[in-house]
Amino acid sequence: MKKIIHLIVIICLLSGASCTKDSNTSSFSTAGTGGSLARFAIAGNYLYIVDKSDLKIFSIADASNPILKNTTYVGFNIETICPFKDKLFIGSTSVVHIFSIDNPERPVKLSTAISPQVLRRCDPVVAKDSVAYATLRTSGECGGTQSILAVYNIKNITQPVQVNTYPVNEPYGLGYSGSALYVCDKSKLLVFDIRNGYNPVLVKSASDGVYIDVIPYNNVLICWVSDGMILYNITNRLDPKLITKIN
Amino acid sequence: MQRYSQQVCHSAKHFFMRKLYPVLLIFLFSSCIRDNQQNSNDRTDTEAFVPIYASLLANTDTISLEGVRSTVRAGKIYAYANYIFQNEENEGIHIIDNSNTDRPKKIAFLRIPFNTEIAVKGNYIYANNNSSLMVINMQDPLHPAIVRTVKDVFPARYQEYPPERGAFVCPDSSKGKIVYWELRTVKTANCRR
């Protein structure tokens, strides 16, 4: 069981690690209904694109002119890509490949984590220094009996250690800014105080839509909801104030 | 008086036999047909993924700036400078001006067929469009310009089956490349994964 939890953690880490959160540099989303034909992410001056089996590395030092630098075979049925610190996490339907991008043009495969087919079912993790937060959903193929917000010590990125959990309903994306962690929990947006990073404390919740993901962006919390977008003023990080809905 | 009423009665009978009866028959018959259809609908109408072929669609690689429109299939969000972008799945990107954070508003819709993802660097949007990667200069979001199209970056995926498990309409390879799968109510979904 512990093994499975670890696998799920790793998979979730890999499937989402901070990807949707760093609004200036990254690009990541799980496949929606109808399917997406593309997967790409920006890390530094490079645009990484995965297709069915290959990783393509484009230099975007000149942003207007992507230049293909390299193509590396990764494996079967590649679905997602996500940069996290100096690593690339590339998820397939069944395994997760970890690449080092110390040399950004020549990613080197460090390891492959074998997993059950849960990659696209689990939700992202955001990492803050040595703490990572993941939402583990029980619906779909993730299994488990209780959806949780899980807290990990990630001093060793390839071996996260779960240090705390918080029961939630049906969580999706999450993001943090300063002292606050925002968790999309279907019809609720949960606001946690993370001044003690390993022990989040729920301080507020909002229920203005069906929340899918969030991007804290300066003093605005941008929420992707099922029918569009909701914006909150987060000048006070722990007390989001509704600005407007856009749909 | 009586004779008259008899006549009326007779003619009414006649009317019924000659005119109404066939109508009634047709009515009964047609209601039978309806019932049958209803029954067969109950049996076969099902939600399934349907392959959408590029060959059947026009202008799949042309982008255009259009007026604001309602969000229907809300996709991923992306923030850059004073703008927020939200994907409309398979259709393009809603552009939201957030320079006044108290009053963010949609200012335009960038139509990019089959677009699902965006990333931004500098003033350039990277967006998928079929198998191509488009680089779009967004320095002035109201005058976007394609500066480059890198072809064959995204090889066709999900040509044999949709990404989601479940019932789907079997693809016909003679119709060419599938650009996406749409969940629809169909009569027959003869494939399943």
Give the model confidence (pLDDT) of A74-107 as tens digits. 888 776 777 767 878 777 666 667 788 999 999 9
Q: Which of B89, B96, B147 sits opposite A34 (nearest CB)?
A: B89
Who wins on pLDDT, B87 or A23?
B87
B100: phi then psi, degrees, rounded to nearest 5: -105, 100
Averaged pLDDT, B20-42: 41
Q: Chain B closest CA to A154's CA: distance in Å?
A: 27
Q: Which of B80, B126, B155 sits opposite A40 (nearest CB)?
A: B126
Averaged pLDDT, B167-190: 88
Who wins on pLDDT, B13 or B172?
B172
C-beta atoms of A23 and B78 within 8 A: yes
Contact between A52 and B157 (Cβ < 8 Å): yes
B130 at the A interface (CB within 8 A)? yes
Residue B112 has pLDDT above 80, yes or no: yes
Residues with Cβ within 8 Å of residue A128, at least 6 apart in sequence: A176, A194, A197
Residue B117 has pLDDT above 60, yes or no: yes
DSSP state of A235: S
Residue B172 has pLDDT above 80, yes or no: yes
Q: Which two tokens stand for residue A208?
A: 């203005």
B104 at the A interface (CB within 8 A)? yes
Nearest CA in chain A to B101: A220
Nearest CA in chain A to B155: A51
Cα–chain center distance at B32: 33
Q: What is the pLDDT at residue A23? A: 33
C-beta atoms of B86 and A228 within 8 A: yes
Q: What is the pLDDT at residue B152? A: 85
The three-point CA angle A69-A75-A79 to 5° equals 85
Task: Give pLDDT < 70 ranges for chain A.
Answer: 1-38, 79, 84, 92-96, 112-127, 137-145, 157-160
Q: Chain A closest CA to B132's CA: distance in Å?
A: 9
Q: Is the pTM of this model over 0.90?
A: no
Q: What is the side-by-side order of every strand in the sheet holding A125-128?
A: A125-128, A131-136, A148-153, A161-167
B102 at the A interface (CB within 8 A)? yes
